[in-house]
Amino acid sequence: MGHDVFEFSGVGVLELLPFALVFLLLSLVLVEQKLDFFVVSLDNFGAFSLEVSLNVLEFIDVGLSHRVELVRHLVDQVLNVQAHFAHLLDVVTVLFLELLLELVN
């Protein structure tokens, strides 16, 4: 009877012990990896939020220091778009006049 205690469905409990230990060790490794990931994420979050704050401050500083050049560039771009639009109107007008001449002849 004492020997039957170690029998479980025809397989000895001692034979399953190495598999149980491997499963336990793999589970512990997985828990450790999850904890490490959590700790590293917290550390990186602090560094990342500080970096983003510094980038925003740098962007504001550069934008304010170059605002005159930025406004000049904006005006220049608007004038370029208007010039292209005027050129387009010239081309359309010439094509329209040529079409009228063809229709008259």
At residue 6 the predicted structure's pLDDT band, cuts being 50, 70 and 90, is low
pLDDT tens for each residue of 28-85: 999 999 998 888 888 788 778 888 889 999 988 888 888 888 889 999 999 999 999 8
Alpha-carbon span 57 to 51, nearest angstrom = 10
Residue 41 to residues 28, 32, 35, 49, 50: CA-CA distances in angstroms?
Answer: 20, 14, 10, 12, 14
Question: What was the pLDDT predicted at 11?
Answer: 59
Any idea where the domains of the chain sit in the sequence? 1-65, 68-105
% of the chain surpassing 90 pLDDT: 28
pTM of the complete model: 0.37
